[in-house]
Amino acid sequence: MPNEVNPRLINGLALAYVGDAIYELRIREYLIGQGQTKPNILHTRATTYVSAKAQAYLIDQLLEAEKLTEEELDFFKRGRNAKSYSKAKNTDAKTYSFSTGFEAIMGYLHLAKQSERLNELTDWCIRTIESRK
């Protein structure tokens, strides 16, 4: 990235915008690593991890398991409480706002260059979704 960015100065929706891309990239890398190569199967499998419903489920699980730091909780709340001008697709407003909060955490960790923590949470999320199958 050409310029250093302080994630504490970025609004929740912008963090979620970055976090959405970062989390989806991690999931795509995971699926490719599992030997998935057919695009339609990749897309179908990816949605079980990256849909708003999946992300809202994951944030509920992270909160219940007390896996988040205080700082991560603050970024979750910034994303969750951000006023979005777009409407949720295929889900209710609460699910959409929780998934936005989840994405804001991922965006924060990426921009704060906390790769190890980002990997740790992403791996935990993958295991959590896999255990539901």
- Please indicate whether residue 83 or residue 20 has the higher confidence score (pLDDT): 20
pLDDT band (50, 70, 90) for residue 88: low
Residue spans per domain, the chain: 9-132
Task: Give the residue numbers annotated as catalytic, written as ranges.
Answer: 20
Mean pLDDT for 79-103 is: 87
Q: Tens of pLDDT along 40-71?
A: 999 999 999 999 999 999 999 999 999 999 99
User: What fold is seen in the domain 9-132?
Assistant: Ribonuclease iii, N-terminal Endonuclease Domain; Chain A (1.10.1520)
DSSP letter string, 9-63: GS-HHHHHHHHHHHHHHHHHHHHHHTT---HHHHHHHHHHHHSHHHHHHHHHHHH
Predicted pLDDT at 12:
96
